[in-house]
């Protein structure tokens, strides 16, 4: 029998200038996490998709752990509603703790910071440092161009074709959680 999922790390945009479609998906993810009593672990910010997923989880009675460097708190970039705050010295420690504290990782649409988190998680999986499920929620086809680039990278042998298994793709938050449930019940071995 599969052990219960205690926490999922969510990588997401902090921008407030994004289409409501993305915000709706982030809110839905937050509500689903709360409904399943899964702690949302994220970067601790109050804005954009980060704030939307956290606030929706909190508004639905869920637990939210924000992992945030001190310099961001000093700049006022923290969600003050969090049920738990973990303060780090810097970004590297932040990402490590976020990954360690979760059973799976989800990437919502985002900018450079979200992409950097996603790619680092992919690299950790490639190196066998983590085997946790990593799911990209491709709201409205947001990541289609990235997937095309990754396919080109693979086709031109800059990465092994097996690396396409480093992450899974979902169209909706509900599908992402279904993928995570399946993968945790059927663990994969690290790529060699």
Q: What total of structural domains would you count in the chain?
A: 1
**Using CA of residue 111, residue 116, residue 117, residue 121, what is the dihedral sign?**
positive
pLDDT of amino acid 161: 81
User: Which tens digit of pLDDT belongs to each residue from 38-82?
Assistant: 999 999 999 999 999 999 999 999 999 999 999 999 999 999 999
- Give the model confidence (pLDDT) of 120-178 as tens digits: 999 999 999 999 999 999 999 999 999 999 999 999 999 888 777 899 999 999 999 99
Return the pLDDT at 164. Answer: 75
Provide the domain limits for residue 19.
7-141+168-183
User: Is residue 37 included in any domain, yes or no?
Assistant: yes
Q: Give the residue-averaged pLDDT of 8-26.
A: 97
CATH code assigned at 48:
3.40.50.450
Give a yes or no: residue 160 inside a domain.
no
Residue 177 lies in a domain: yes
Sign for the CA dihedral angle at 144, 150, 154, 157 comes to positive
Strands (E), the chain: 7-11, 39-42, 64-69, 84-88, 104-107, 134-137, 168-170
Q: Return the bridge partners of 170, or none.
A: 137
pLDDT higher than threshold 70 for residue 112: yes
């Amino acid at each position: 029998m599969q052990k219960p999922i205690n926490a999922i790390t969510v990588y997401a945009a902090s921008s407030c200038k994004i289409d409501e479609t993305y915000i709706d998906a982030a809110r839905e993810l937050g509500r689903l996490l709360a409904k399943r009593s899964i702690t949302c672990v994220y970067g601790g910010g109050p804005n954009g998709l980060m704030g939307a997923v956290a606030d929706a989880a909190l508004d639905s009675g869920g637990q939210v752990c924000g992992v945030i460097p001190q310099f961001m708190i000093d700049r006022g970039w923290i969600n003050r509603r969090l049920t738990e705050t973990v303060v780090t010295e810097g970004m590297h420690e932040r990402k490590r703790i976020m990954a360690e504290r979760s059973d799976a990782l989800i990437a919502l649409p985002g900018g450079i910071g979200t992409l950097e988190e996603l790619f680092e998680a992919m690299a950790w999986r490639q190196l066998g440092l983590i085997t946790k499920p990593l799911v990209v929620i491709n709201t409205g086809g947001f990541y289609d161009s990235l997937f095309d680039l990754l396919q080109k990278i693979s086709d031109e042998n800059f990465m092994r074709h097996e690396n396409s298994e480093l992450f899974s793709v979902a169209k909706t938050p509900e599908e992402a959680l279904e993928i995570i449930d399946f993968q945790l019940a059927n663990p994969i071995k690290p790529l060699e």
